[in-house]
Amino acid sequence: MLLDAVEIPENKKEELVDKVKKANKELEEQYEIKQLASDINSSLENSVGSTFKMDVRLGMASPSFTAIARALRVLLSGQGLDEADPSRNGLGLNNVLYISMLMAYFEKRTQQDSTAGQLLLIEEPEAHLHPQLQRVLFARLLAKECQIVATSHSTHISSRAKLDNLLILTAEDTGLTTTCRPATTPAIAKDDISDLERYLDATKSVLLFARKVILVEGMSEVFLIPGLVKQVMNVDLEEHGVSFIPVYGVHFDSYLKLFVDRGIRKKCAVITDGDLKPSDASEIDKAEFPRIDDLKEHESDLIRIFNCNTTFERAIALPKNLKVFSKAAKELGATNVSTQLNDFYNRRIELTDDEKKQASSKVLNTAKRFGKARFAQIASKYVVHAEVLPSYIRKAIEWIVA
């Protein structure tokens, strides 16, 4: 295809054919080649007789330009290879090679007056590719002048795309496929688009592929809630197509504008703290953070807000769960805290309200001491000892899987 697009002049083709003829002649003059051709001739005559036999010669190709084109091979060098055939590569690199050759073909054709435009359709360009190579390849494709339509399941690719370039296809229970262009959702303004394009990295753009979404503040919830839900409610959220997305903050608004009637029609639950203002924020800063009432205004058939009255660590540090955090504290080296939490757990039925507050405060302070995400990661190893879920998390799960 590339050779055709180059439109090699006839006189150049004849030159190449002459070179092949010359090479064939030099080969024929080699004693070993002559002898081998003679042996094949004799064997053929012995097999079919003199009437049906044909003369045999050995050469690189028949003396025609078409034969030369068919005989050409792509040879690759680099990373320990020296003029290697592509058959030695994996499928991923060969897919990239094939796409690259197609793009070269398109560029050659674009230079011709007879070409009106170019359209390239690619199914899953990420197939068999390293994540970084996926992103590099997609960025290069975006820079091309031809029209490209790609289908993909890769968050590495979706995170690199502009929101305006995304078309989300959803298989409905009815058997129909619905479509949505998030950038054209009425609720989304220009500022929201730039925000979302920054937010939707390879982790958070999972929400574009999920069947249902739970948005949370950070990694503490991601580490702990799925395990607690599996242990206490025996619900595997992944089996229900639910993706947990941390927004690393409390600005859920931009995300929620995606989940509307003319947007992504998928259920989205927000699990958040009752106080959306970080404890280290100044009074001036606190005015910039949303309130639960503000989030509640987004509620619809597709969106629900579930919040506790305090912080996540306090909310899950219920007496029946203290063994989880006692073991986590012990592993992290906070032996005194571990002993105190274990004592509270052993007396969990008879704890006073004041002791319950003390226990939850110790869990929160220990999380702050070692880092909330790190503490949650360690605690997630011991969720088998959990016995109960805070009501706001249970309600969120019941709604999202219903």
Q: Is the pLDDT of residue 120 over 50?
A: yes
Tens of pLDDT, residue by residue over 5-23, are 677 788 888 888 888 888 8
Q: Are 310 and 390 contacting, i.e. CB atoms less than 8 angstroms apart? A: no
What are φ and ψ of residue 340, in 5° steps?
Answer: -65, -45
- What is the distance between the alpha carbons of residues 276 and 286, in angstroms, rounded to a whole number? 9
Is pLDDT above 60 for 278?
A: no
Span 146-171, average pLDDT: 88
Q: How confident is the model at residue 140 (pLDDT cuts 50, 70, 90)?
A: confident
- Say if residue 280's pLDDT is above 50: no
CB 389 within 8 A of CB 229: yes
The CA-atom distances, in angstroms, between 90 and each of 87, 96, 103, 129, 201 are: 8, 10, 20, 9, 27
| Residue 84 near residue 75 (C-beta atoms within 8 A) | yes
Q: At what angle do helices 353-370 and 335-346 cross, to 10 degrees?
A: 150
Q: What is the pLDDT of residue 89?
A: 67
Cα dihedral 87→92→97→103 (10° resolution): 150
Percent residues over pLDDT 70 in the chain: 90
CA atoms within 13 A on the CB side of 67: 12
Q: How far apart are CA 272 and CA 250, in angstroms?
A: 8
> What is the DSSP secondary structure assignment for residue 170, as one 8-state letter?
E
In sequence order, what DSSP letters do the residues of 260-328 get, joined into one string? STTS--S-EEEEE-S--S-TT--HHHHTTS--HHHHHTT-SSSEEEEE-SS-HHHHH--GGGHHHHHHH
In the chain, the percentage of residues whose pLDDT exceeds 90 is: 37
Mean pLDDT of the region 110-134 = 83
Residue where the block lists tokens 């030695």: 88
Q: Using the predicted structure, report yes or no on whether residue 97 has a pLDDT greater than 60.
A: yes
Q: pLDDT tens for residues 352-387? A: 999 999 999 999 999 999 999 999 999 999 999 999
pLDDT of residue 380: 96
What is the pLDDT averaged over residues 138-149?
A: 83
- More confident: 397 or 36: 397
The residue whose two tokens read 């002993």 is 339
The reply to whether the predicted model has a pTM over 0.85 is no
Across the chain, mean pLDDT equals 85
Q: CA 60 from chain center: how many Å?
A: 47
